[in-house]
Structure 1
Amino acid sequence: MILIGLGSNRSGPWGTPLQTVSRAVLALNQAGIRLRQASRLVVSAPFGRVGQPDFVNAVARVDTQLTPRQLLSRLHQIERRAGRRRTLRWGPRTLDLDLLDYHGLILRRGSGPVLPHPGIESRIFVLAPIAEIAPLWRHPEGRQTAAMLLRRLDPASGGRLL
């Protein structure tokens, strides 16, 4: 199973954050990527850096023959089309696309993506959408489902569904 995290908290060429995430979901269904399912949208407080607008988040399940490195490159291309400029870590952005999991592959730091994406297990805005669209998914390292991981987190920090 391949999972992609989507997020936006700044308007850009694709519109408001809500419009941008919705359009990004559709953009995942082209250029060698096939969208299988997308979660409902979640509004959540920013992670890592406060003092910025709330995020609109979602998770998509996709299929592709692209390698993890090629897929991540394709995701970065979509981000750039949506006006993303990488300047401030965890700062406001028009679109953030994260490769969360690629068929359970575990890759450490190197020249390619880190898999699974670090921090999945501590982010309600990622786990709740995963639990919605992929209830049988298990974290590649701890083998816990998203629902199991969610039970360990404070629900007050999670955001609200749209």
Structure 2
Amino acid sequence: MASDRSGIFVALGANLPSSRHGPPRATLEAALQILAHEGVRILKRSSWWQSQAQPVSDQPDFINGVVETATMLEPSDLLALLHRIEAAFGRVRQERWAARALDLDLIDYQGRLSGGEGGAPLLPHPRLQERLFVLLPLQEIAPDWRHPGSGSRIDTLIEKANPIKISKL
């Protein structure tokens, strides 16, 4: 029997309460439970981090984290699952950078590179190197991680990322 694939990183974020699960942090915890219920094993999880919205706006602060997962799902199937979970939490993808009750992003899938051909997700996530709210939690659980495309070390990416107000909770 084949085993789950590990080395798959998912970023979680929220800055609005969900009607069913309450404040952002509780919503993120509930999303992790649903991922596990759907057969996506959580191998490592970062602390929760609070950050200002990026780009900077008058939105409430976000709560963010990153998990390393293991699954048999292929990247497109995992991304479809993430989108179904977001929709179940009330996320409607209409406006870019809008406030949201849940955001789940496939950040890296075993170092694979994909330009999005044939409906495949873009891998690694195309803006992850700009986002401290992804990089800092990712560094917490994968300190030796390197960007699959550029080969840049995570600490180098953190130094070059857009500065924002962010703190570990």
TM-score range, shorter chain: over 0.9
Give me the identity figure in percent: 39
Distance in structure 2 (CA, Å) of the matches to 1:71 and 1:134: 20
Distance in structure 1 (CA, Å) of the matches to 2:94 and 2:161: 30
Distance in structure 2 (CA, Å) of the matches to 1:76 and 1:33: 14
Q: Say whether residues 1:128 and 2:136 are aligned partners.
A: yes
Q: Say whether residues 1:55 and 2:62 are aligned partners.
A: yes
Q: Say whether residues 1:151 and 2:143 are aligned partners.
A: no
**1:81 matched residue in structure 2:** 88
Question: What stretches of structure 1 of length at least 5 have no aligned partner?
Answer: none
Distance in structure 2 (CA, Å) of the matches to 1:27 and 1:147: 31
TM superposition shift of 1:49: 5.9
Mapping 1:82-101, distance limit 5 Å: 82-101=89-108
Q: Hey, which bits of structure 1, 4+ residues long, moved more than 4 A?
A: none
TM-score normalized by the length of structure 1: 0.93
Report if aligned partners of 1:48, 1:90 keep a CA contact under 8 Å in 2: yes
> Please, which of 5, 16, 19 is the counterpart of residue 11 of structure 2?
5
TM superposition shift of 1:136: 1.8
Question: What stretches of structure 2 of length at least 5 have no aligned partner?
Answer: 1-6
Report if aligned partners of 1:25, 1:38 keep a CA contact under 8 Å in 2: no
**1:117 matched residue in structure 2:** 125
State how many pairs are aligned: 161
SS at match of 1:157: coil
TM superposition shift of 1:44: 0.7
SS at match of 2:134: helix
Report if aligned partners of 1:44, 1:54 keep a CA contact under 8 Å in 2: yes
TM superposition shift of 1:93: 0.7
What value does the CA root-mean-square deviation take over the aligned residues?
Answer: 1.5
Distance in structure 2 (CA, Å) of the matches to 1:29 and 1:83: 19
**1:138 matched residue in structure 2:** 146
SS at match of 1:21: helix
Distance in structure 2 (CA, Å) of the matches to 1:36 and 1:29: 10
TM superposition shift of 1:68: 0.3
